[in-house]
Chains A and B, each alone.
Chain A
Amino acid sequence: MATMIRTWLGLGALGAGLVHLAVAAGSAPGALALLVLVGAAEVAWGVTALARERVPLPRIALAGAVAAVVGVAAVLVLRAGAMSHMATMTPAGTVAGVPAVPMLGAALLELGCAAALAVVVRRGRRESRRPGVWAYLGGVVAGAAVVAGITSASLGATPVGAMAMQGMGH
């Protein structure tokens, strides 16, 4: 099970990182730097989690995932506040230049990662049975389908992604 959790963690972090990097592309300078930093860190951590035999820096990653989810929650609260004062609201669906829907998608992936990381931290270095080949492949395919679904939908909700969807028209 530990192998499967580590793989899902890697996939989730990779998906969240890609969404953050895509959101950064159309963000205001201040948010851009933060999003690039967070996105790059998530992609690097995700690849390391996939490639290594143990989850890298589980406690720091757990703190980071929780902080990211809290950050998105704060953004959504700000957005709700902005919607109640239309005069201060930034372009549709954004707060300080950051689109809310893709951030929510990334937060969903981070929330899943945080839950899995909590299990990893709780279990410590306890050994667990390795999955069989077909169980492993099934687990990877299922995890990839979920991550690709959330990531694609989130990318489609970024300003540039929304333009792409309209341009395709199908």
Chain B
Amino acid sequence: MSTTASPARGTRFGASPNRILATVFGIVYLLVGLIGFFWTSGVPFAGPGNGSSNLILGIFEVNPLHNVAHLLIGIALLIAGTASASAAKATNTTIGAIYLLLGIVGFFLAANHDSPLNFLSLNTPDHFLHLASAVVLLAVGLGADRVADTRSAPAAA
């Protein structure tokens, strides 16, 4: 078995954790981005909402810009997941790093919920979700699909 650190470009979908994760997360974020618009009527495009009517499932706060971000992330993940293991690995790692930054910096930027700095209209469940998404995407992006030969190692390297 090879121990190279380069991603396995030709890994089939079912044998690549990065492709599966990118596709699943891509679909979920795409759906969340779409249904989010049902909760953002009357909410500023890039500012904090009232924190009660703009909650997806009554939990996660959004505004239209937040929905657009979810749509773009969902599309990027879905395309990468259906393309190749190397594309999925790179996309998972990149989006994981961005989410990690958002999960931490966003927490402090949104210290005052009604501040213009809270331009994504974030609340506490959002921070938890961003942090959880970040660690899953980073862990799989950095740790899986590193071997070219997946005959005996379908998962992580």
Question: Which of A's residues lie within 8 Å of B, judged by CB?
Answer: 3, 6-7, 10-11, 14-15, 18, 22, 25, 47, 50-51, 53, 130-133, 135-137, 140-141, 143-145, 147-149, 151-152, 155-156, 160-161, 163-165, 167-170
Contact = CB atoms under 8 A, between A and B. Distances in A.
Nearest to A137: B17
Interface in B106-144: 107-108, 110-115, 123-124, 127-128, 131-132, 135-136, 138-140, 142-144
A160 B107 CA distance: 9
Interface residues of B, number: 41
B156 A170 contact: no
10 contacts: A18-B100, A50-B139, A53-B3, A133-B14, A133-B154, A152-B124, A155-B104, A161-B107, A168-B51, A170-B123
A-side binding surface: helix, strand, loop or mixed? helix
Contact of B131 (A10, A133, A135, A151): A151
Interface of B: 3, 5, 14-17, 20-21, 51-52, 100, 104, 107-108, 110-115, 123-124, 127-128, 131-132, 135-136, 138-140, 142-144, 146, 152-157
Contacts of A151: 131
Contact of B136 (A53, A140, A152): A140
A58 to B, nearest CB: 17
A141 B136 contact: yes
Contacts of B152: 130
Given A131-B155, A133-B17, A170 B139 contact: no
Contact of A170 (B51, B127, B146): B51
B60 to A, nearest CB: 12
A136 B157 contact: no
